[in-house]
């Protein structure tokens, strides 16, 4: 299932920008992409999947302007564990092959591990509740950001 979500992210980022690298396209899009993927999770797995975003700092030597970051979590209905994904992970780790970060018993455990992984402070930002919300504004923001990304690797 996670692979299908990752394919969806790549489709969102690469649409109209197939020649640009993912790390470049992922920049400035973490909030919008996390929300859209969370919406997809809620629609496919149901409201009990409780998708949410975590917001925090990434302190891995990356330029300061990129340090505030959003990632996605949801409750896997089969395992009853919280799955954490970073849908725009390539902006920080260009060669990573998966958006999967980990699976945790509680949101607090997830936040603790994410804080260690990204070496910054993290918190629960919001739950993605309205699965019928209009996605056009977020798609427009992603498209604009991707179109403005430089064409170099």
- 8-state DSSP, 141: H
Do residues 25 and 14 touch, judged by C-beta distance below 8 A? yes
The answer to whether the predicted template modeling score (pTM) of the entire model surpasses 0.95 is no
Query: Which residue has 């725009």 as its token pair?
Result: 88
Nearest partner of 91 among 57, 66, 59, judged by Cα: 66
pLDDT tens, position by position, 44-94: 998 789 999 999 988 766 555 557 899 999 999 999 999 999 999 998 889
Listed ranges 53-67, 102-116, 129-143; the one with the highest mean pLDDT: 102-116
Q: How far apart are CA 147 and CA 20, in angstroms?
A: 9
Do residues 37 and 72 touch, judged by C-beta distance below 8 A? yes
pLDDT tens, position by position, 14-48: 987 888 899 989 988 999 999 999 999 999 998 78
Q: How far apart are CA 82 and CA 2, in angstroms?
A: 13
Between 150 and 115, whose confidence is greater?
Answer: 115
């Amino acid at each position: 299932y996670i692979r299908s979500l990752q394919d969806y992210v790549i489709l969102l980022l690469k649409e109209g920008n197939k020649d640009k690298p993912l790390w470049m396209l992922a920049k400035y899009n973490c909030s919008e992409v996390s929300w859209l993927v969370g919406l997809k999770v809620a629609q496919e797995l149901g409201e009990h999947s409780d998708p949410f975003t975590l917001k925090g700092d990434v302190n891995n030597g990356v330029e300061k302007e990129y340090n505030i970051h959003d990632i996605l979590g949801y409750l896997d209905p089969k395992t009853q564990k919280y799955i954490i994904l970073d849908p725009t992970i390539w902006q920080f780790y260009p060669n990573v092959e998966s958006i999967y970060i980990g699976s945790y018993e509680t949101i607090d455990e997830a936040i603790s591990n994410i804080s260690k992984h990204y070496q910054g402070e993290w918190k629960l930002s919001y739950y993605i509740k309205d699965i019928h919300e209009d996605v056009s504004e977020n798609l427009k923001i992603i498209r604009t950001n991707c179109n403005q990304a430089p064409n170099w690797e």
